[in-house]
Amino acid sequence: MKRNEVPQWAKWQLEHICATPEEALERLGALNGGIDELAALKGSLNDDEAILSVLKKYYAVLEELYEIYSYASFRLSEDNGNSEAQQMAQRCTNTAVRFDAACSWII
């Protein structure tokens, strides 16, 4: 069965994650600031308050990354031949790698 033959009620409702692909890309781009902030905090874990602050920031950025990554993955699963979905999924992967590298000192 082709996707255009699937009834609307049986399709993923991706607009609950992001209203449009453009919104997903904007949110993904905004993550770079959070990643840079986390990288700049390296060496700042010198008391309980600092540790808590860094972990809150870490998990906030990670949660946003997972949400956007899920959106991109679902869009790609709808049609693996969709070049826009492929590019978005690749950008998410690249951002995830950058996040992991920037935060490797945390965990």
Please tell me the least confidently modeled range out of 5-9, 36-40, 56-60, 101-105.
5-9
Question: How do residues 39-76 score in pLDDT, each as one tens digit?
Answer: 999 999 999 999 999 999 999 999 999 999 999 999 99
Contact predicate 92/79, CB 8 Å: no
Structural tokens at position 67? 């949400």
CB pairs under 8 A, 24+ apart, for 52-56? Answer: 54/106, 55/106
pTM for the whole thing?
Answer: 0.88
CB pairs under 8 A, 24+ apart, for 53-56? Answer: 54/106, 55/106
